[in-house]
Structure 1
Amino acid sequence: MEPGNQTATSKFILLGLWEDKALQPLLFGLFLSMYLVTILGNLLIILAVSSDSHLHTPMYLFLSHLSFVDICFTSTTVPRMLANAQAQNKAITFEACITQVYFFMIFSGLDSLLLTVMAYDRFVAICHPLRYTVIMNPRLCGLLLLLSWLICLTYSLLQSLMVLRVSFCKETEVPHFFCELAQILKLACSDTLANDVLLYCVTGLLGIIPLSGILFSYARIISSIVGISSAGGKYKAFSTCGSHLSVVSLFYGAGLGVYLTSGTAHPSRKSSITSVMYTVVSPMLNPFIYSLRNRELKGALRRLLQLRSLLSER
């Protein structure tokens, strides 16, 4: 068979997270609730930052972008999973699968790069406080965001175009609840050496380089905090980094678990449960982590909710 014909007529079967049909209503309700909480929580962060002039700073600018990316990140996988479960139809066309791969790689890469940019912002704020406003000027902030988007859009497009040259067998079963590129390539009927090399190189670069930047930033931050004489100053400096460190640990910890499990020769459906941590749980918890540990953000959220209640009373 010609590769083009195989690809054009193929479709994938997403096996999902569960086999027991008796558990489907319970798990459907659970994931729907988690998705709605993710959307609502991140939207509140965006509205709070945009509506409060006190939060128009680089740190909260990056945080609002992270919330937007988390909404998009979760929306690339969960709605499709819920729709398939409700319709009892696990099939997804090749075109829809590649589209999901494309957007999933964009927003997962943006998550990693934005966390790195936020770490750099904290490094400048703590290690160079007197020059913070000069260094983190609006032009640099906009340039960092634009560069992050361009990198992710470019490599995601390249990865997706590379998949088009691969042929697949018809109705291939994917042991996952969404189209993950590493799992899809394992089901190809043609040679995928170039795809595998590109995938692991890009994954390594977008994983190792940002994580190295985060670790370097916090190494400098810790050394600066140690030099602070007052205990109150040390606590204040640590408190500004606590939320970001929690989010970084959650995202990279879950991502590392997924990377290790995806490398197995015979992936099972159970291994896809690990992906839930960084595709669903992490975006859902991020707003809570930042709002519970940040007085300024809690104040902005409180004022936003009070304003909404006043408007509803009128």
Structure 2
Amino acid sequence: MNVLFDMETGDPDDAVTLCFLIAHPAISLRAVTVTPGTDEQIGLVHHILKTTKHTDIPVGSYRPNYDKNCVSIYYRRWLGNFESTSPDDEGYKIISQTLDEYPDLTIITGAPLTNFGSLEVKQPIHRWIAQGGFAGDNVVPPQYRLPKFNGLLFCPTYNFNGGPKQALKMLNDVPIKERILVSKNVCHGVVYDQDFHKLLATQKHLHPGYELIYKGMELYLSKNRAGKKFHDPLAACVALDQSICIFKEVKLLRKGGKWGSEPNEGTNTFISIYADQDKFRQTFLQL
């Protein structure tokens, strides 16, 4: 599977997802784009690519040379020191070039969709897997609702609210054969905890990418024993196996800075209403 990954660094699970996409044998990672894409963020991505021997993968930035601190000290405690570097090109240009080269490209987004604002596509995008959106009580049956979202029809979601115009463009205007939304209402129920970590210990030998994940999550769990919500890794695994989640076809709605869904046929937009955590773990860990 040819994949482009669009990421940020505010949450460590994006970097974990990058390591997973490199490590899994069924995935060919063709490009990475970063939001906002500071030189320090680009240096972080290049460091992971170098450590895993994937230096040929192009890296794009939404705002090259942007001067803002977007990389916490956690990353250097995890990965060691790394230098700031320059991107290969602007993000939307990298996306366009990769689509031209790989017409069957699957785009996985785990960040605000700013890199897609200037994108013009020459042919329909094959598949877009987005971590974002929200399905409320009008879409999710009672047995699948997380208690924290019970009673809600709309809810703020970070990635789509980080670039709402770009999100609406991707949802409504850009020709995409299949939109798969791994949404907040299921992501908040998927957690990397101590049990998950023990399973990864048995699999980390498979690839240096898994070894990096293990090291990073060992550090994270030492400070956060309750675990880490795994938003973007879930989306990446759904790209491999959509049966991890149950989906419903919908139209996405935005209302007052919040997002919701309504059942709708013919949109080619499918939102998650349930995630099978065992199947997710099996896919993530190659069990």
TM-score with structure 2 length normalisation? 0.24
Q: For the pair shown, which has the larger CA radius of gyration, 1 or 2?
A: 1
Structure 1 or 2: more helix by fraction: 1
Structure 1 or 2: more strand by fraction: 2
Q: Comparing both chains, which one has the higher relative contact order based on Cα–Cα distances under 8 Å and sequence gaps of 6 or more?
A: 1
